Structure 1
Amino acid sequence: MSQVIKNTVNESIYDDTNRLNEEECFLSKVDLFARDRGINFEATPKVTRKPISLFELYKKVKKKGGYDAINNTENGWSDLAGEFRQLDPTRAPKSLQNLYFKNLIAWEMYDLWHLQSPPPQLLELSSNKNNILQRVKTYNLSPSYKSTDALEVADTKNSNSLKNFYKSIRPPSPVTLERRAEEALNSNYQPLPNAANFSNTTFPIVPVHPLPADSPLQRQVDRSSGPAISIEESLGQGIPGPPLLIRMALALKSRQEDEVDWAVCHLVKVSFERYQEFKLERLPFLAECLVEALGFQISLVKKVSNESDITQYLDRAIGIALVLRNSVLSSENAKLIAKAELIVGVLESAIRCAKTFENVELLHYCLDISETISSYLCIEDEKIGLYLLLCSFLNSSDNAVLIATLRTLARLALNDRNNRLLQDLDEKVVIRIISLTETNNEELVAATLDFLYQYTTYRTNTSGLLSNSAIWILVNQLTRLMMYQAQERVVTIAVANSGKADVQTPNTSQTTSFLPLPYSELQQLVLLREPERSVKWMRCCFESSPDDYVLQTDIWQMYCSDMERAQGPGLMAISPADFIKVSSHAFYNARAMTVSTPLLPVEYVINGIKRRELPISLIGEKYQVCRWKKDNGTLCGETVLGTKSTWAHLQEFHIFPQVLEEKHCRWGDCTYYIHSDQSGGSSVPSHQSLLKHILTHLYDNNLQSTTNEGRKLCPSREFRIPLLLTAVDEQGDATGIALTATLVLRNLVRSKQGKMLFSAIEGHVLEVSTMNPAVAPYVSEMLLGQI
Structure 2
Amino acid sequence: MAPPRQEPSPPTLPQSSEYAAFMDKLAAFHEKRGTELQREPRVGSKFINLLDLFNVVVGRGGYDKISDEKLAWRKLGQDWNLPANNLPALAFGLKTVYYKNLAAFEIAEIHKKDPPPREILEDLTAKGGALLSRTVDNYKPARRETGNLGHHDSEASGDDGTPSRERNGSEETPGSGGRVTRGLRQAPPQRVLFQPEVHSSSRQTRHVATTSHTSTPQHHNQHQLPRVGASSSYTPSLSEHQSQAVERYEPRPQMPLTLRPVITPGNNAVEFSRRQKAYRDTALMAAYARTPAPLNRGVMLPGSGFDGPNIYVRCLCALKSGIPSEQEYALHHLVKISMERGDKYKFESFPGLAEALIEKVLEVSSLLYKVKWRIAYTEDELSATPDTLNGIDGTPDILQRISKLPKLAVDDNIQPAEFSDVLLQVNEAGLTLRNMVMLEENALYVSEMSPLRDFLTIALNLPKLDCLTELKHYALDIAEQLTKYLHFEETDPLYISLLAQLQSEDRGAILTCLRAISRISMTLEENNTLKGIPSACIQNILDWTLLNDDELLHACLDILYQYTAVVANVDFLTTNSLIEPLVNQLTRLLAHGANQLLKLEEPERSSQWLRCLFEEDRDEAITQIALWQEYQACFAPTVVETGRQLLPAAEFIKNVSTTFAEKAAAQVQPGPIQKFIIKGIRMRSVPVDLKGEPYSKCYWKSGASPGDQGPCNKFFMSPEEMYRHILRDHVGAPELEDGKFDNSQVGQYTCEWEHCRRFKGKPATKLLQLATHIKVHLPPRRVPAANKDSEYLGPPPAKKLKPSYIISPPKQAFMLHFTAVDERHEAAGVPLSAVLVLRNLARNLSKTQAEEKAMKLPGAVSWVDRLFKPVSPRLYETMAHNKALTPYITDLINAMNDA
TM-score range, shorter chain: 0.3 to 0.5
> Which structure carries more relative contact order (alpha carbon 8 Å, separation 6+)?
1
- Higher percent of residues as helix: 1
Question: Who wins on radius of gyration, i.e. which is larger?
Answer: 1
**TM-score, normalised by the number of residues in structure 1:** 0.47
**TM-score, normalised by the number of residues in structure 2:** 0.42
